[in-house]
A and B are shown apart, each in its own frame.
Chain A
């Protein structure tokens, strides 16, 4: 059976699949809560990954283990095992370990820090083996469930990059699961550079405030030509500096992201920024430098790729409208290893990365159904 036929066959099953998943609703909810209430700041994911591995073990997965960077994984062997599909959901959150991680479940929503990013994604991993078994679905391909660590901010997706660089198993296809939004279909990565500009002032040599230096740099950043043809954008994300209102700030930091369709454009602007910093540092007593937090390459699948087409059809068949945005940094590690991959969302939600983050319960099973549908398409056909 070729890929198109398999997609067609699976499409016929899709409309009723969310209803078939109804008995697993509480299990998915419980996994969201149990995963999400275990703190997992970037570089501190061990306890959460431990729970995920325990779930994999309970489900009878094979090779439940962690690697050198703490990624958690388990394998559901396929009947043929000639292909390996990776379903991954990052394990870390931007919340500190001592933040209150209590979740609340109300009839329509679950709320709590990190519930969308990415407790729900991890809960899908933890629930998927039970659901597939319950539905009598036996994949031909090996299914490798992966909870990568060190994804966010300074983590720079170290976990997934380490896994893909060192895996002894050839990976055929990747599905990246994020909690929200449902309708997310990312299959390309933009070139990006996440960085932090730091300004320091030696107050013995200079009376300026580091905030003034940084302010001047921000003005210069705003002057950079961004090239709309390549969708180049500069996002000024966060800023901090100084210790008190009474004294000139000794330090100031700006975190930003530069992104573009074109690697060259990011590299060129990066050079411009470095030049600006060199110029600023010529002032006596001032230092200014750039620390790169994260980098991604541009590229990915075309909209006509069979995996993208299959994902679109699966989503359409269950009434999910694919959103227009096609870019996600999560695709970049797969792209670096020439592995076709898409990133899907499971439900709707809001307030990401704030304490009042929430997801809607009702769409969750539809989100889970689309992942199962796509798995079946990849497994039975040629989506690679």
Chain B
């Protein structure tokens, strides 16, 4: 399975190149990629349905326990199929939606990157691997939202989404690390076995709360939901894919994944239930008030995510199975509706529902897709949305506790769904009114109406023949979450006359009433302005301002801007650490007359010459008033040190030191004339402080050196590397072998830092502050 990830990453980064080569036909390879992945995951259906999860392992950093362990059980497979099949449609749709866009290659890069990361999230068995992919989805979401980066709204929304979801990601990281410590394992399959120990562990409460924070921010739960409506600044394919069908469901996935491990306790159930139900009601309430097509869809998505989370919180076997069914139903119709909204926007240039009328005449195929998906959204028989909604109601109705308020909340959100579905499927396409039909710039091409139509048809087919199509995989997913007793679900359209059917009918009737009074809902919220001013949206800006101000204050108080203070800080810290260590470990250098004699007798004659070079140079460099002299003298000291390396048998180090010394001198010469004149501090106190500091530092280092000499040199390491570098790494130069093989990970980190430093230097040197500008 790692090849799927690697292939995804490679093709993602090839996308800009492919765009240059293929032009508008770039959509072809980009659609083929998720199609191939879909086919690949399909091959796993039969073993997974037979109850045999597939487990694969590749080591990454074995020393830290970070491995790529991939697990494909029912839940993972369900999500993988969902992600890849939607990927096919969205990639195709995006090709038509952004046709002619110069940055299309970049767009496909981000989108493919996201898809790969999302697949990584759902098939990772190692929780740290899961976290890495999780963060990657946040980052690619950020890049996609800010795709139209010339607009400030897009940039601000992207930043908001990044701050909120990555803030949650940090919590999740803490939670997962604590979980790893508590269970002494990072593999989900092993942690599930340790459930009793984990529930009794001291870390249980923080682990659960932190993981929940991660899931709630990602899945846009109240009060973190504010980023999702703003994320609609992204191009519509992104909204359809990330912000309705897949990424926002990552939080739901996470909670479902951890239910068998951590779920079932009161903290878990009641917290999740409360947050989910609040979100469902708030999202539905806000959705009714919107006029913008995408905003309406965004708030209903929040509401639906709330319902999903509520079902996880209820936690009964039935509720968990119902959650999977509703998740699929929601993905089908919401993905389609988003694409329809995008096509309408593309054709008419507006998304304002008050300006869109009678679109069905000019765009019949799109209207058909809209009717199919909105009927599914409203939960009308025989669509899959009906089954999803029935199970959702039943799950809430039969909840072990708080069934009554939960049902009311869920039904309220259902009513809003019906009203919204009527506005989308009927209102803008067919409703007769005094207005003329909205003018259409150009009729949409097949790529813009076919994907939503396919999704709408899928919703109908899954509704008519659920047991032939989706029931087995949904059951397998249910088994992964709720254990072996699940998996007996038989989906059917007709459940007989029962309270649930009554609720459904009531929902539809009230939904129609709500639709008739749309105007009331969209005009009335003016009176709620005061409430919204203290809502989570404003809270976000408040926290952002506060943290920016705090960061500025902290930087101002810590960063003096003078190199000498930074050096002094480093040296003082160092001295304190060394002296502290010496005192704590009771290590004292034994200095007798013999030590002196021995030390001086060991010094060879050419080492004295080095000493004669270095000591006067050191004194001289502190006296000079000229930068040029200071630099030359410093180089002299540097060369002397390089010579010392040669004397003690470290040619690699010496060569590097020589080159770096020379380079530093040359670079200094290049910028010398730009630097301000050297200011010297001549006050008595400053001089005294500097001299004291350097003397103490020098003395400490000398003391440490003498002390170290008392202990025999531990040569085990040297012998090991000497042997292993030839036998295992096939190299005779130990230094180089350590750099490129044994400690290659460190080297990789170092060269990354080097690259970042070059970027930093580049931007700093090209930064010309205007007059009065603050840096």
Do A and B make up one complex?
Answer: no
